[in-house]
Protein backbone atom coordinates (compact mmCIF):
# COMPACT_ATOMS: atom_id res chain seq x y z
CA UNK A 1 0.00 0.00 0.00
CA UNK A 2 1.10 3.55 -0.53
CA UNK A 3 0.14 6.91 0.80
CA UNK A 4 0.20 10.37 -0.74
CA UNK A 5 2.15 13.20 0.79
CA UNK A 6 2.45 16.78 -0.39
CA UNK A 7 5.82 18.48 -0.27
CA UNK A 8 5.78 21.00 2.55
CA UNK A 9 6.92 24.57 2.03
CA UNK A 10 10.26 24.15 3.81
CA UNK A 11 11.49 21.50 1.41
CA UNK A 12 13.25 24.09 -0.70
CA UNK A 13 15.54 21.67 -2.51
CA UNK A 14 12.54 20.83 -4.70
CA UNK A 15 12.73 24.36 -6.10
CA UNK A 16 16.40 23.88 -6.95
CA UNK A 17 15.66 20.61 -8.72
CA UNK A 18 12.82 22.29 -10.61
CA UNK A 19 15.18 24.96 -11.94
CA UNK A 20 17.56 22.26 -13.15
CA UNK A 21 14.84 20.69 -15.26
CA UNK A 22 13.61 17.53 -13.53
CA UNK A 23 10.97 15.05 -14.69
CA UNK A 24 7.33 16.06 -14.91
CA UNK A 25 6.52 14.72 -11.46
CA UNK A 26 6.50 18.26 -10.06
CA UNK A 27 3.17 18.92 -11.69
CA UNK A 28 1.46 16.91 -8.93
CA UNK A 29 1.85 16.06 -5.28
CA UNK A 30 4.57 13.63 -4.38
CA UNK A 31 3.34 10.08 -3.89
CA UNK A 32 5.48 8.48 -1.21
CA UNK A 33 5.26 4.81 -0.26
CA UNK A 34 4.48 3.75 3.27
CA UNK A 35 7.04 1.54 4.98
CA UNK A 36 5.85 -2.08 4.74
CA UNK A 37 4.42 -3.43 8.02
CA UNK A 38 6.87 -4.81 10.58
CA UNK A 39 9.94 -3.64 8.69
CA UNK A 40 12.99 -1.86 10.02
CA UNK A 41 15.12 0.36 7.81
CA UNK A 42 18.35 2.24 8.34
CA UNK A 43 18.72 5.61 10.03
CA UNK A 44 20.38 8.66 8.47
CA UNK A 45 23.62 7.76 10.27
CA UNK A 46 23.49 4.15 9.10
CA UNK A 47 22.79 5.24 5.54
CA UNK A 48 25.73 7.67 5.62
CA UNK A 49 28.04 4.93 6.91
CA UNK A 50 26.83 2.48 4.27
CA UNK A 51 27.42 4.97 1.49
CA UNK A 52 30.89 5.66 2.84
CA UNK A 53 31.77 1.95 2.94
CA UNK A 54 30.43 1.32 -0.55
CA UNK A 55 32.24 4.31 -2.03
CA UNK A 56 35.48 3.02 -0.51
CA UNK A 57 34.90 -0.39 -2.12
CA UNK A 58 34.08 1.26 -5.45
CA UNK A 59 37.15 3.50 -5.30
CA UNK A 60 39.28 0.41 -4.56
CA UNK A 61 37.84 -1.49 -7.51
CA UNK A 62 36.16 -4.07 -5.25
CA UNK A 63 32.57 -3.13 -6.16
CA UNK A 64 30.84 -1.72 -9.22
CA UNK A 65 28.43 1.10 -8.41
CA UNK A 66 25.98 0.01 -11.10
CA UNK A 67 26.02 -3.60 -9.84
CA UNK A 68 25.05 -2.40 -6.36
CA UNK A 69 22.46 0.22 -7.29
CA UNK A 70 20.97 -0.73 -10.65
CA UNK A 71 18.37 -3.52 -10.59
CA UNK A 72 15.80 -4.94 -13.01
CA UNK A 73 12.16 -5.47 -12.02
CA UNK A 74 10.77 -8.11 -14.40
CA UNK A 75 7.30 -8.26 -12.80
CA UNK A 76 6.57 -4.55 -12.36
CA UNK A 77 2.86 -3.67 -12.40
CA UNK A 78 3.11 -1.59 -15.58
CA UNK A 79 5.84 -3.36 -17.51
CA UNK A 80 9.37 -4.63 -16.75
CA UNK A 81 11.74 -1.80 -15.94
CA UNK A 82 15.19 -0.88 -14.70
CA UNK A 83 15.70 1.31 -11.69
CA UNK A 84 17.75 2.32 -8.68
CA UNK A 85 17.98 0.42 -5.41
CA UNK A 86 18.11 3.23 -2.85
CA UNK A 87 17.58 1.65 0.55
CA UNK A 88 16.76 -1.73 2.07
CA UNK A 89 14.68 -2.79 5.05
CA UNK A 90 14.11 -6.13 6.78
CA UNK A 91 10.79 -7.64 7.81
CA UNK A 92 10.92 -8.50 11.51
CA UNK A 93 9.09 -11.84 11.39
CA UNK A 94 10.12 -13.38 8.06
CA UNK A 95 13.48 -11.61 7.66
CA UNK A 96 12.44 -10.82 4.08
CA UNK A 97 14.43 -7.95 2.61
CA UNK A 98 12.54 -5.22 0.76
CA UNK A 99 14.19 -2.59 -1.42
CA UNK A 100 13.19 1.02 -1.97
CA UNK A 101 13.08 1.02 -5.77
CA UNK A 102 12.99 4.13 -7.98
CA UNK A 103 12.09 3.03 -11.48
CA UNK A 104 13.21 4.51 -14.79
CA UNK A 105 9.69 4.98 -16.10
CA UNK A 106 10.33 7.76 -18.59
CA UNK A 107 7.24 6.86 -20.59
CA UNK A 108 4.64 7.67 -17.92
CA UNK A 109 3.73 9.94 -15.04
CA UNK A 110 3.91 6.94 -12.72
CA UNK A 111 7.63 7.31 -12.04
CA UNK A 112 7.64 6.69 -8.33
CA UNK A 113 9.24 5.07 -5.35
CA UNK A 114 7.97 1.72 -4.16
CA UNK A 115 9.05 -0.97 -1.75
CA UNK A 116 9.76 -4.19 -3.67
CA UNK A 117 10.82 -7.57 -2.24
CA UNK A 118 14.45 -8.17 -3.12
CA UNK A 119 13.46 -11.62 -4.38
CA UNK A 120 11.47 -9.96 -7.19
CA UNK A 121 14.45 -7.96 -8.45
CA UNK A 122 17.37 -9.02 -10.61
CA UNK A 123 20.94 -7.78 -10.78
CA UNK A 124 22.40 -6.67 -14.10
CA UNK A 125 23.98 -10.10 -14.62
CA UNK A 126 20.82 -11.97 -13.66
CA UNK A 127 18.75 -9.78 -15.99
CA UNK A 128 21.04 -10.63 -18.88
CA UNK A 129 21.25 -14.37 -18.20
CA UNK A 130 17.65 -15.04 -17.11
CA UNK A 131 15.61 -12.44 -18.98
CA UNK A 132 18.00 -11.67 -21.85
CA UNK A 133 17.76 -8.01 -20.93
CA UNK A 134 20.72 -5.71 -21.42
CA UNK A 135 20.72 -2.76 -19.04
CA UNK A 136 19.47 0.55 -20.37
CA UNK A 137 20.73 3.22 -18.04
CA UNK A 138 23.64 5.33 -16.83
CA UNK A 139 27.28 4.37 -17.16
CA UNK A 140 29.33 3.22 -14.17
CA UNK A 141 31.04 6.58 -13.69
CA UNK A 142 27.65 8.33 -13.59
CA UNK A 143 26.28 6.06 -10.85
CA UNK A 144 29.57 6.43 -8.95
CA UNK A 145 29.29 10.23 -9.08
CA UNK A 146 25.63 10.14 -7.99
CA UNK A 147 26.58 8.06 -4.96
CA UNK A 148 29.16 10.70 -4.06
CA UNK A 149 26.41 13.32 -4.12
CA UNK A 150 24.21 11.09 -1.98
CA UNK A 151 26.99 10.64 0.57
CA UNK A 152 27.30 14.41 0.90
CA UNK A 153 23.53 14.84 1.09
CA UNK A 154 23.40 12.38 3.97
CA UNK A 155 26.12 14.27 5.82
CA UNK A 156 23.60 17.10 5.86
CA UNK A 157 20.68 14.76 6.58
CA UNK A 158 22.45 13.54 9.73
CA UNK A 159 23.24 17.07 10.88
CA UNK A 160 19.71 18.31 10.15
CA UNK A 161 18.03 15.16 11.47
CA UNK A 162 15.98 14.54 8.34
CA UNK A 163 12.77 12.60 8.83
CA UNK A 164 12.16 9.39 6.90
CA UNK A 165 9.55 11.25 4.83
CA UNK A 166 12.08 13.90 3.85
CA UNK A 167 14.51 11.21 2.73
CA UNK A 168 11.79 9.72 0.54
CA UNK A 169 11.04 13.15 -0.93
CA UNK A 170 14.68 13.58 -1.81
CA UNK A 171 14.87 10.17 -3.49
CA UNK A 172 11.63 10.81 -5.36
CA UNK A 173 12.67 14.26 -6.53
CA UNK A 174 16.29 13.61 -7.47
CA UNK A 175 16.51 14.07 -11.28
CA UNK A 176 18.16 10.74 -12.13
CA UNK A 177 16.93 11.02 -15.72
CA UNK A 178 18.90 14.26 -16.17
CA UNK A 179 22.13 12.64 -14.96
CA UNK A 180 23.26 11.29 -18.32
CA UNK A 181 26.99 11.91 -17.83
CA UNK A 182 29.50 12.37 -15.04
CA UNK A 183 29.81 16.01 -16.07
CA UNK A 184 26.04 16.50 -15.65
CA UNK A 185 26.21 15.19 -12.08
CA UNK A 186 29.19 17.44 -11.29
CA UNK A 187 27.32 20.42 -12.76
CA UNK A 188 24.30 19.62 -10.61
CA UNK A 189 26.28 19.73 -7.34
CA UNK A 190 26.37 23.53 -6.95
CA UNK A 191 22.69 23.76 -7.95
CA UNK A 192 21.66 21.30 -5.26
CA UNK A 193 23.95 22.43 -2.45
CA UNK A 194 23.48 26.09 -3.34
CA UNK A 195 19.75 26.07 -2.60
CA UNK A 196 18.37 27.32 0.71
CA UNK A 197 17.60 23.83 2.00
CA UNK A 198 21.36 23.27 2.32
CA UNK A 199 22.18 26.71 3.68
CA UNK A 200 25.61 26.95 5.32
CA UNK A 201 26.44 23.35 4.35
CA UNK A 202 29.75 22.81 2.57
CA UNK A 203 30.16 19.19 1.40
CA UNK A 204 33.60 17.64 1.60
CA UNK A 205 34.30 16.78 -2.01
CA UNK A 206 37.06 14.21 -2.42
- E strands in the chain: 2-4, 31-33, 39-41, 70-73, 81-91, 97-103, 113-117
Of residues 20 and 61, more confidence is placed in 61
- List the single range of 21-25, 97-101, 133-137, 191-195 with lowest mean pLDDT: 21-25
14 neighbors 173 (Cβ within 8 angstroms): yes
Which helix (H) or strand (E) segment holds residue 67: the answer is helix 65-69
In angstroms, rounded to a whole number, what is the distance separating the alpha carbons of residues 76 and 161?
33
Predicted local confidence at residue 134, as pLDDT: 86
Q: Smallest Cα–Cα separation from 155: which of 43, 13, 14, 48?
A: 48
pLDDT of residue 116: 94
Q: Half-sphere exposure of residue 63, counting CA atoms within 13 Å on the CB side? A: 18
DSSP 122: B
- At residue 58, the pLDDT reads 97
Which of the listed ranges 10-24, 117-131, 165-179 does the model predict with the highest average pLDDT?
Answer: 117-131
pLDDT of res. 17 = 57
Between 24 and 52, where is the model more confident? 52
In the structure, what pLDDT confidence band is assigned to residue 13 with cuts at 50, 70 and 90? low
The pLDDT, as a whole number, for residue 32 is: 79
pTM over 0.85: no
Q: Which residue has the higher pLDDT, 99 or 178?
A: 99
- Position 44 scores a pLDDT of 96
Using one digit for the tens of pLDDT, what is the confidence trace for 152-174?
999 999 999 998 988 988 888 88
* d(C-alpha 146, C-alpha 156), whole Å: 16
Amino acid sequence: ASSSSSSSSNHNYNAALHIFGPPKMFGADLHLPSMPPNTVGGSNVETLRRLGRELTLINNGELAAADAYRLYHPTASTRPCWGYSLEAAREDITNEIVVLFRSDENYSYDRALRWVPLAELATRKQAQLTYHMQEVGPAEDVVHEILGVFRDVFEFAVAANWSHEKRLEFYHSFPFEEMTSKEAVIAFRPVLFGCSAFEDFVPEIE
